[in-house]
Chain A
């Protein structure tokens, strides 16, 4: 590891939450516009997090604190690994640590709301994990490597070769962003629903930690999306911007699904799309 990549990692770790917070702010503003409201200031997510950090601690048991910290660590680590251009699949598995620990923290309190939220969160993870693996395998099919350094070096935009797999990736993105129609475990807008589900029992600074970790996660997933257009910065920017805008629109026009619906729909559509894309690839290579 040379000095350049160390600097890159540090920059990523510092700027990712900033970018994530801004994205969340823009998201809230745009959503408000969609609903005919004015909306909060762009900096609102930062106010929220600082306020939460300054609140008194309150926990049901110490496991919650432990789990929140582990979530943050694993999200930071996975982003750092991405910045070091290591293996995509490994990054994904490291990300799982945090997601699992968040669920464990929620399950560790006897409140029925957080328990239900945690079960649903598990089902959400169950839904998006295979899809992400499939997307990575698709990328490997094209570039011949799981290493980000090799993927970045690939000389054509992967998006043009794997457009359908990109759609599959956006399913995972939607779930990870907690957006409708897949926001069954804890919704970003419907704050009262099952009392915030998996986040019910985290409060004050620990909720802030989860929020920061979530920002890291968003940035990471967007970074993975950006791998689909690595040849030019403009292409990458437009790809990400359109993706994110589409997410916001979908969020505002779709109702929430039940878990069964979500699971069957996402898997059926996702797997079909990926197989179709693979078939296209094979067809082209003849």
Chain B
């Protein structure tokens, strides 16, 4: 492994920037995510920044269930993140739909729309668990997935999209 590859890898692990997308959570998980920034947890120690812009971010943290309306937004935010990137689904809602799973407007967990790398369960997920999730996601980032690999990813995406398209006919409110 050359010096630069190594440098790049270290940098990736040392500087994960996060964009947090609230898909329709009850705000319980959101508050826990923001708690990570406080002096008690201080994730900036690890170079983690809550960056608020998918174009700059490496990790997408999604809390809450996906519904028909915000599924498109989620997709768009995901599409605007340059590779390498990772997705973390937070909370019971993010991983599976949680208590809203059977609601008429709900698509389900985040993985119904975009590929998810790490699932952080909990209702709400604890800050420690969230930080742990980010650390797990770093492993994914390290794999240096770039646009070249996205082709293999495309199949995965296609599947998710299919699913979403099939569900779209069930839209009630639009």
Contacts and interface: CB of A to CB of B under 8 A. Distances in A.
Interface of A: 28, 32, 35-41, 44, 46-51, 53-58, 191-193, 195-196, 199-204, 207
Interface of B is mostly: loop
A48 B84 CA distance: 14
A54 B11 contact: yes
Contacts, number: 88
Nearest to A195: B53
B12 interface: yes
Given A191-B53, A195-B52, 14 more contacts: A32-B42, A37-B39, A37-B44, A38-B42, A46-B11, A50-B8, A51-B14, A54-B144, A192-B50, A193-B52, A196-B53, A199-B56, A203-B56, A204-B82
A190 to B, nearest CB: 9
22 contacts: A28-B44, A36-B39, A39-B44, A40-B44, A48-B15, A49-B11, A50-B11, A51-B8, A51-B11, A51-B12, A55-B58, A191-B49, A191-B52, A192-B53, A195-B53, A196-B52, A199-B56, A200-B53, A200-B55, A201-B55, A202-B55, A203-B55
B27 interface: no
Interface in B16-59: 17, 39, 42, 44-47, 49-53, 55-56, 58
Interface string B79-94: 0101110000000000
B7 interface: yes
A191 B50 contact: yes
Interface residues of B, number: 29
Contact of A44 (B7, B47, B50): B47
A41 B47 contact: yes
A38 B52 contact: no
B30 to A, nearest CB: 13
A57 B39 contact: no
A126 B144 CA distance: 42
B10 interface: yes
